[in-house]
């Protein structure tokens, strides 16, 4: 007889915790290290500036990455259309020698990115961004010697309010906009 009430309490606890638990399925849960770089306005921008906000990140260059940026602009607009706020966009330049703040600002403006919530970052050397990308985002960034183009991935990364990379998605073909928005809503407890 004593087992029945205990079993009911256990079942109720599991039921309540399951109903309250909203997590992105198959989360990566990759921690990001602190960083402090320079944005398109020439100002310091760091991980702490993103604390408490959901963000979407990618790695770009300003020469051949137009489709990725156009796809993120589409996501940015869809979030606005759905009234979803407090989502930041962070694009790490893979070619910091070329992509100085003024170049990044011009690029973002030409692409019609809403720069109030989008941060195009530079202010590091090539070796630093290559290590940062691999260590944090598990992606390759590599500038071969005597080459002008940088090899890099074409993935979008969803990062939570604590700076943990939760999920990654295709950033070029068949971008799963609905899935990304659904995951953002989960992180924001929509």
How far is it, in rounded angstroms, from Cα 50 to Cα 162?
8
The average pLDDT across 142-169 equals 94
pLDDT of residue 3: 55
pLDDT of residue 92: 98
pTM for the whole structure: 0.87
Backbone dihedral angles phi then psi of residue 112, each to the nearest 5 degrees = 65, 35
pLDDT of residue 64: 73
- Residue 7, token pair as written in the block: 């079993």
Report which of residues 16 and 12 the model is more confident about: 12
- pLDDT tens digits, 21-33: 469 999 999 999 9
Q: Predicted confidence band at 63 (pLDDT cuts at 50, 70, 90)?
A: confident
């Amino acid at each position: 007889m004593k087992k029945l009430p205990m079993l009911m309490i256990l079942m109720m606890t599991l039921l309540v915790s399951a109903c309250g638990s909203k997590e992105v399925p198959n989360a990566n849960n990759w921690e990001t290290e602190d960083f402090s770089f320079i944005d398109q306005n020439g100002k310091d921008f760091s991980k702490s500036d993103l604390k408490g906000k959901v963000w979407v990140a990618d790695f770009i260059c300003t020469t051949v990455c137009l489709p990725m940026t156009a796809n993120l602009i589409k996501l940015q607009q869809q979030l606005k259309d759905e009234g979803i706020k407090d989502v930041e966009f962070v694009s790490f330049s893979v070619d910091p020698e070329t992509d100085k703040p003024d170049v990044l600002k011009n690029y973002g403006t030409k692409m019609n990115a809403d720069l109030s919530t989008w941060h195009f970052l530079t202010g590091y050397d090539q070796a630093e961004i290559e290590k940062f990308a691999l260590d944090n985002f598990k992606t390759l960034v590599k500038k071969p010697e005597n080459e002008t183009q940088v090899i890099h991935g074409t993935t979008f990364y969803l990062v939570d309010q604590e700076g943990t990379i939760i999920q990654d998605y295709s950033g070029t073909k068949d971008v799963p906009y609905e899935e990304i928005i659904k995951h953002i809503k989960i992180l924001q407890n929509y």
